[in-house]
């Protein structure tokens, strides 16, 4: 349920705050992009969410990224500032994105593990970040106070990035 923080406080101590959210678009046709390995919508929406929240890539404790194709996770890691361009694979190779890594990514198993529920992908990502931030993720639980989810439509032509934080 989304509601003002004042209302959430009336019902529970276990809630999260959406501290930043932004949406952006990019051209759908990848070969028309200046660089086909840069998802401009991810970069733009990520920067907007960071600006709104006051957080940056180094402040994110856990992330859910849209992984309908494996390369999308890498391109989003780079577009969101978690890795330099062309280097996201090294973070995965070195274990940084595993549940016990420096930046756990797709602790839920990612969208493919859920059958990539079209129309519900963003909701699934948001629920995972919520559960992580309130300590209800069960065996998937990581230590997190700030989480990010990035949901992509098409091949990055429509992107929403959301940053959430545990209630203080």
Domain spans in the chain, listed from the N-terminal domain onward: 21-27+35-166
Q: What is the enclosing helix (H) or strand (E) of 24?
A: strand 16-25
Output the six-digit token pair for 9.
């406080």
Q: Three-state DSSP class for 112?
A: helix
Q: What is the pTM of this model?
A: 0.94
Q: What is the mean pLDDT of each run of 10 residues along the chain (168 residues)?
A: 86 92 91 90 97 98 92 95 97 97 96 82 93 96 98 88 94
Domain 21-27+35-166 sits in CATH 1.10.10.10? no
């Amino acid at each position: 349920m989304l509601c003002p923080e004042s209302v959430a406080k009336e019902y529970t101590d276990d809630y999260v705050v959406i501290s930043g959210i932004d949406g952006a678009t990019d051209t759908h046709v990848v070969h028309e992009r200046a660089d086909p390995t840069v998802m401009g919508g991810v970069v733009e929406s990520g920067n907007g969410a960071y600006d709104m929240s006051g957080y940056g890539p180094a402040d994110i404790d856990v992330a859910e990224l849209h992984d309908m194709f494996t390369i999308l996770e890498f391109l989003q890691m780079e577009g969101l500032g978690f890795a330099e361009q062309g280097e996201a694979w090294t973070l995965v190779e070195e274990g940084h994105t595993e549940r016990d890594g420096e930046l756990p990514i797709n602790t839920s198993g990612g969208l493919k593990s859920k059958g990539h529920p079209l129309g519900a992908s963003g909701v699934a990502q948001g629920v995972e970040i919520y559960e992580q931030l309130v300590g209800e993720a069960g065996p998937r639980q990581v230590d997190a106070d700030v989480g990010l989810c990035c949901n992509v439509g098409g091949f990055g032509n429509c992107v929403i990035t959301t940053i959430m934080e545990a209630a203080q």
